[in-house]
Structure 1
């Protein structure tokens, strides 16, 4: 019984030990934004950075990092996010962020676009992008 309980506790610890999610922008972008602003960007409520520059958010397509970001930052599950955006698209009130399939694709997109914001596994951060927050 003790071994079973120990295994359960260890498995819970390994789930919570998931790598942090890093929110990244282009290194030439001088904006500073907090979690509330990031959430609003990913919900389509903010269309620009604090300095007035248009923002181009990019999402990840069905990755564990996307699930972690949605949970920690947006406060919704991935299925709730999909339902939210489906409603906005159907009513003509919004367009969801573009979706890419990997951390490297997000890094490349953000590095190539001054107005981009994205998120990746913090272990994958490179000098091509600037980290503005980790969760």
Structure 2
């Protein structure tokens, strides 16, 4: 009997947990400058770019990464749902690069409208937005 109850609880929790494979109107998506030649990224490459370990797009163009503040709910959803990491893990990665002198943190923006503007105006720009903030000045990058 306890095994049956545990099984039902696990099924119920799975139904409540959002899946990265399903996109709804409020899902967070990767977005890039329209001139970026890459239209898809796998999770490992996206994670490496956002952790600032990979500084170029797969085609060799310099990647310019923009992020929202750590306490912004869209940043938390992006990190957990698309990159499968916690926001504090990204921050630790950036802090290591900065304090060791081997790299720099991504550019922090303070709103999704600023994120949209900066990506649209920056060659190689990469960030994330809720779908409702998209327009034709940026391209959506699909996750494999």
- After superposition, residues 1-135 of structure 1 pair within 5 angstroms as 13=16, 16=18, 19-32=26-39, 33-61=41-69, 62-133=71-142
Which secondary structure does the structure 1 equivalent of 2:113 belong to? Answer: helix
Counterparts of 1:115 and 1:122 in 2: how far apart (Å)? 20
- Contact kept, 8 Å, 1:122 with 1:134, in 2: the verdict is no
Alpha-carbon offset, residue 18 of structure 1: 8.8
Quote the Cα distance in structure 1 between the aligned partners of 2:61 and 2:121: 16
CA RMSD of aligned residues (A): 2.3
Take 1:49 and 1:30, find their aligned partners in 2: how far apart are those partners? 8
How many residue pairs are counted as aligned between the two chains? 124
In terms of mean alpha carbon deviation, does 32-41 or 62-71 score higher? 32-41
Q: Secondary structure at the match of 1:23?
A: strand
TM-score by length of 2: 0.75
Describe the shift of the 1:18–1:28 C-alpha distance in structure 2 as closer, same or farther (beyond 3 A). closer
Structure 1: segments with no counterpart, 5+ residues:
1-8
> CA shift at 1:93, angstroms?
2.3
